[in-house]
Amino acid sequence: MTLEKYLDDRETWQNNTIEEIKKKVIYKPKSLKNSRVGEKLVAIYGPPQIGKTTLILCLIGIAPEFQKKVYNDIRAGVPRGNSSTSTAIIYHQIDADLYGVKYGESDGCIELCTDTELQEKIREVRMKVEVDSASKDILHIYIPQKYFSKKVINEAGLNIVDLPGDGSRNIKEKSHVDAMINKYMALATVNIIACKANEIQSLETLKLPINVDWKNLPHKYIVVITNSYGLGTISLQIKSQG
């Protein structure tokens, strides 16, 4: 089997998996503006750098050719190895050529901004998180419609909250992160637990920040493997088969 065939199979499997997850969590609120957090909210939980944000971009319908660009924009220059999500974020679609930002659950206007301005605003939030002076509300990021697949342009979309990774660099940041994880996991209708394939056995002993017997609540907790085999591993497999 060629490397190209492995990659084609992996892409097909990934697309099918995304569709299966959507079937479990998708809903169509009458209005994203009027929908309240907790009514039909999906939260995604897991350690930093495990692929939570990438999974969300797939779920909300960012076109494959734009996923890297959008991911880099919302990562805001955070070095690899560190969590790119500093606080709880929900991503929306906006009928505009610019990004939009709104912080909190108020009825305030969406502030339009360029790629560079968006990254600066995200960095400002991160700096506040690191000293625990950031708002405990949702950070709403609106992604230009042109980056979405055409087939989802007219859909209401998924209201998924991207939780910060459960690893912090200092005590003050940990205070903010813990508060956000506890608040929105408790409010969510469905929680997605992200893990790596080589860590799946540890799920048996995994305890979530909120005190629930999550393994006996399959309607509320979904486990998703976000990382399995890298390209290097696939290449070695092919070589080993001669």
pLDDT beyond 50 at 95: yes
- At 141, list the tokens: 């990021």
Q: State how far the alpha carbon of 195 is from the alpha carbons of 34, 50, 68, in Å.
A: 32, 7, 21
Per-residue pLDDT tens digits for 202-216 = 777 888 888 888 888
Cβ-contact 155, 7 below 8 angstroms: no
Q: Residue 61: what pLDDT?
A: 87
Q: Residue 22: what pLDDT?
A: 62
What is the average per-residue pLDDT within 81-104?
Answer: 83
pLDDT beyond 80 at 150: no
More confident residue, 233 or 219: 219
- What's the pTM value of the predicted model, to 2 decimals? 0.76
Per-residue pLDDT tens digits for 33-80 = 444 444 578 899 888 878 888 888 888 889 989 999 999 999 876 654
| Range in 81-85, 137-141, 181-185, 232-236 with the lowest mean pLDDT | 232-236
Percent share of the chain, pLDDT over 90: 18
Q: Residue 69: what pLDDT?
A: 94
Per-residue pLDDT tens digits for 14-39 = 666 666 666 656 544 444 444 444 45
What is the average per-residue pLDDT within 156-182?
Answer: 77
| Range in 5-14, 207-216, 228-237 with the lowest mean pLDDT | 228-237
| Range in 1-15, 29-43, 76-90, 195-209 with the lowest mean pLDDT | 29-43
What is the average per-residue pLDDT within 103-116?
Answer: 80
